[in-house]
Amino acid sequence: MNFEVFALGTSGMMPLPNRFLTSAMLRRDGDLFLFDCGEGTQVSLKMLNLHWKKIDKIFISHMHADHVTGLPGILMLSSQVDRTEPLVIYGPAKLADFVDASRRILDMYINYEIIVRPVEEGVIVDDPLYTVTAFSLDHTKPCFGYVFEEKKRPGEFHPETAASLDVPRGPLWGKLQRGENVTTPDGRTITPDMVVGSPRSGRKFSYVTDTLYLPKIARFVENSDLLLCEGMFTGDMEDAAKEKKHMTATQAGMIARDAHVKKMGLIHYSPRYSDAQLRFLVDDARKMFPKTILTRDRMSFPIALKD
């Protein structure tokens, strides 16, 4: 059951030749979840050669042009595959207005149902296999971070233990694995906890941009396997970042450190930094959190099953 995050773009404000606007795609067991959608998103998807047209859900951080102007193109191209399920797009209140205006003014051909759901802080998707949680950030307009987290999987089944308890191999093993009590042929009751380990953690991906540094972010993204986090400016620009309601790479590193994430990828770089200068951002973040990655467009982050 694969779980892989693709950085589709890493630039903030404006797309550059090697840096499309900040966007990420999570592919989980064939389902696709898109986070933000600026200009260039569909080009990166094409370059990655993902079968991307059937996106399941889209999560928009906030309604600034550099995070949404790729959406009309994605919605139109999503009409080129058969789909029976609606596409659900989550985001701030103005998202519905943007989607409606785009459809009305641009006469977009859409052959499937689009559902726009305004989000508030809290669990916004509760699927049997995963949840998505939104949490409010502090930017120049309403903005949300998102946490995608798999629910716990049943623990590992230990066949040797089952055998040593004289539970015959066959249907009884399956029942125990599914969490049911069983009765052995000689009348003993065996409960799952005797032969199955503790439930195994799911995988967790968090996506955070654009915002002031807020200590609460670490709480929401705690223990993420991957955190993609805005680090727009170098650490020396903290005042300028604050004024523009953005974060420095140093602050992104503090969040990653405080949240004990496994790995943090910086995103949403200011176009003021040349490709060669991006290492200054990473250097700053690494002072706080050594496992910082310089995310580049179309980089992928596969996350293995745990235990």
**Choice between 20 and 205, CB closer to a copy of itself:** 20
Between the alpha carbon of residue 167 and those of residues 126, 178, 196, the distances in Å are 36, 15, 13
Decide: is 89 part of the binding site for a copy of itself (CB under 8 A). Answer: no
Q: What pairing do the DSSP bridges indicate for beta strands 87-91 and 114-118?
A: parallel
Contacts with a copy of itself in 147-186 (CB under 8 A)?
none
Decide: is 73 part of the binding site for a copy of itself (CB under 8 A). Answer: yes
Q: How far is the CB of 61 from a copy of itself (least distance, A)?
A: 13
Count of residues touching a copy of itself (by CB under 8 A): 33
**Choice between 1 and 14, CB closer to a copy of itself:** 14
Q: What pairing do the DSSP bridges indicate for beta strands 144-150 and 189-190?
A: unpaired
**Choice between 125 and 232, CB closer to a copy of itself:** 232
Query: Which range binds a copy of itself by CB under 8 A, 16-24, 170-178, 210-218, 231-239?
Result: 16-24
Decide: is 105 part of the binding site for a copy of itself (CB under 8 A). Answer: yes
Q: How far is the CB of 53 from a copy of itself (least distance, A)?
A: 11
Site string for a copy of itself, 29-68 (x = CB under 8 A): ----------xx-xx--xx---------------xxxx-x
Q: Which of 29, 36, 56, 66 is catalytic?
A: 66
Report how far residue 307's alpha carbon sits from residue 304's, in angstroms, rounded to the nearest whole number. Answer: 9
Q: Does residue 146 contact residue 132 with C-beta atoms inside 8 Å?
A: yes
**Choice between 39 and 56, CB closer to a copy of itself:** 39
Q: How far is the CB of 230 from a copy of itself (least distance, A)?
A: 18
**Choice between 97 and 127, CB closer to a copy of itself:** 97
Query: Binding a copy of itself by CB under 8 A: which of 140, 191, 198, 277?
Result: 140
Query: Binding a copy of itself by CB under 8 A: which of 22, 61, 102, 292?
Result: 102
Decide: is 243 part of the binding site for a copy of itself (CB under 8 A). Answer: no
Report how far residue 176's alpha carbon sits from residue 190's, in angstroms, rounded to the nearest whole number. Answer: 8
Q: How far is the CB of 33 from a copy of itself (least distance, A)?
A: 21
**Choice between 109 and 174, CB closer to a copy of itself:** 109
Total Cβ atoms within 10 A of residue 144:
24
* End-to-end CA separation in angstroms for the chain: 14
Decide: is 235 part of the binding site for a copy of itself (CB under 8 A). Answer: no
Q: How far is the CB of 52 from a copy of itself (least distance, A)?
A: 12
| Known catalytic membership, residue 66 | yes
Task: Give me the active site residues, please.
Answer: 66
* Residues engaged in binding a copy of itself (CB under 8 A): 14-17, 20, 39-40, 42-43, 46-47, 63-66, 68-70, 72-73, 76-77, 94, 97-98, 101-102, 105-108, 140-141
